[in-house]
Structures are given as C-alpha cells and as structure tokens.
Amino acid sequence: MTIPVELCTDDGLIPCRALRWDAESLFIEGTSNQVYVEPLAIGVAEYLRNRQELWNCAQVRAASKKVTMRRACLFGVQFERALELLSKDFTKESICKTLFCRDDASFVTQSSLGIVGSLLAHASRSRQGKDLLITLETWEIKDAGSETFYIHGIFSTNQQAWIHLDGATMDHSEEEKKTMFNLGTKAVGINYAKHFRLDGAISTIDVVNIVNAFLPLDDLTPQYMQKLTAIKAASG
C-alpha cells in the first residue's frame, strides 16, 4: 500500500485530521491502511495525539512502511534560549540574531560523549494589518556531520499566541556552517525536508514541548554534571 498522492501536501506531509489512532497504530481515516510516522516526527505526533485541537491543525511526515533510525548522542542548546529574542526591543533593528554555544563543548568533544550542537536564532518583525508578527527561526548546527535541524515559528502579538510552527532538516557543508557560526547568516543548505507543521493558535508552552519532542537532544546525566563541575572547580 502506498499513501495516496492527493493526501499529501506540497511539503510531502499528511494532514493529521486525515489520520486516526487505533490504540498505538495509525490509519488513514475511513480505511484499514496503516501508516507510520517517520522517526524524526514520532515525538511530535505522540505529543499531539492527546491534544485534539492541535492534532487537527497539524501535518506530519509518514510512510506506508515502518522505518527505524539510529543516531549519535547530540548535546545541543535547548530551544528555550532562542525564545529570549522574543523579549528584545526591535526599536533600532528589524532583525535580531544570536548564536548560543555550550560552555562545556570542549569537554563533551574531548570526552567522546557525543556530538556538540550550537543554536543560531533569528527573530524579525513584520506588520499584517494591525497585527505585529514576530518570526523566529532557529538552526541547531552540529559540529560533526552535515545534518541541521531547523525550526520556524510565527508569533502574533494581537493573539498572544503562535499561529504557525514547522520543523525541518537540511544538510549544510562545512563552509556553510562556518559562515553561520562566524557571521550568524542564514544558509539554505540542501536536502531540505519538512517533518511537521501546525497552523493555528498555539501556546508558547506547547511550542516548547513540540520543538523539544522534535530536536534529538540528549540530556546530560547527574553523574556527568558532577564530573564537569569538579573539573571546572579544579581548573578554576
């Protein structure tokens, strides 16, 4: 069974309202055709499944066959740091950009704990009638490998809610990553693939939870944190 082309959007996503859950399985509505959410979107789908209002305004990438994926540990910067740009005053500049890096990046790399990621965030504003919209874009850039995780959201100051959110992946060359790190500029990359999308009124709490369900960041264990603190104290 292949997923009907007419069911998919231009981004290759399936509207969640066209799908139904039966226990832990997902089917195309009105049929017995089972589909499988692709690995990068599974966390997002699991979060949305119990939130009908969000499920109905969402789209996810799925396939007719189950796919598994293994990846190296990624110690990156949490998306919440990017949200700091929303509180900035845009009186002089229409765009704010910040690169967030981990203080423990060298330790993670030297200890072979995994791959280190940094977070590039861009915030810009625009007018839509009487509504002031703030667009937030973030790139989780890895120090090894070409894959980059991208988040795009639009916040309505009138509604005090997010009206759009999507997550994608792409590949960046080493030269493009250097440009993004050193200059904070966008790089289009290649192999762009969108994995989920929501259009509707979304709270900031839900945005954070959805993004964290998408980004493959590994939490540091208490033992690691104690070890890191001891090393910093010894070198201080």
The pLDDT tens digits along the chain (236 residues) read 567 778 899 999 999 999 999 999 999 998 999 999 999 999 999 999 999 999 999 999 999 888 887 777 888 889 999 998 887 766 666 788 999 988 877 777 777 777 888 999 999 988 888 998 999 999 999 888 899 999 999 999 999 999 999 999 999 999 999 999 888 888 989 999 999 999 999 999 999 999 999 998 876 444 444 444 443 444 34
CA distance 172 to 186: 11
φ/ψ (deg, to 5) at 54: -80, -40
| Residue 178: strand pairing partners | none
pTM equals 0.87
Q: Six-digit token pair at 110? A: 């030297």
Q: Tokens 């791959």 sit at which residue?
A: 115
φ/ψ (deg, to 5) at 162: -80, 135
